[in-house]
Amino acid sequence: MDQIHAEPHEERCGARNRAGKPCRRWPVEGRSRCRLHGGCATGPRTPEGLERLRRAMTIHGRFSKEAVAERKRISALVRAARATLAAELLLEMR
């Protein structure tokens, strides 16, 4: 169980070192970079960092939680209005 990597040279860290050569250390288990090149990094954790990430990942915001909730609310409103109109029409036809 010593050799867990089938293609050792393809699964090395690969980050560029100060000499411009690829790092040859093993990546942190389950990650693609070694512990010296951010393999243990967990990403943003502070509120500011998470907000910066959110902004960086948002393209147009059409699928933001707020936008989806707004569309749902409007759809429900339209559905209710149509039901009301249909009921009124049925009453008029009597």
Which positions lie near Zn ion, rule CB under 5 A?
13, 15, 23, 25, 34, 37
- Least distance (Å) from Zn ion to the CB of residue 44? 21
For residue 27, the tally of other CB atoms under 10 A from its CB is: 19
* DSSP bridge partners of 16: 22
Residue 43 pairs in a beta bridge with none
Which residues, 6+ apart, have CB-to-CB distance to 36 below 8 Å? 13, 23, 25
Q: Which is nearer to Zn ion, 18 or 55 (CB)?
A: 18
Q: Which is nearer to Zn ion, 16 or 73 (CB)?
A: 16
CB of 4 to Zn ion, least distance (A): 18
Task: Work out how close the CB of 2 gets to Zn ion at its nearest, in angstroms, rounded to a whole number.
Answer: 21
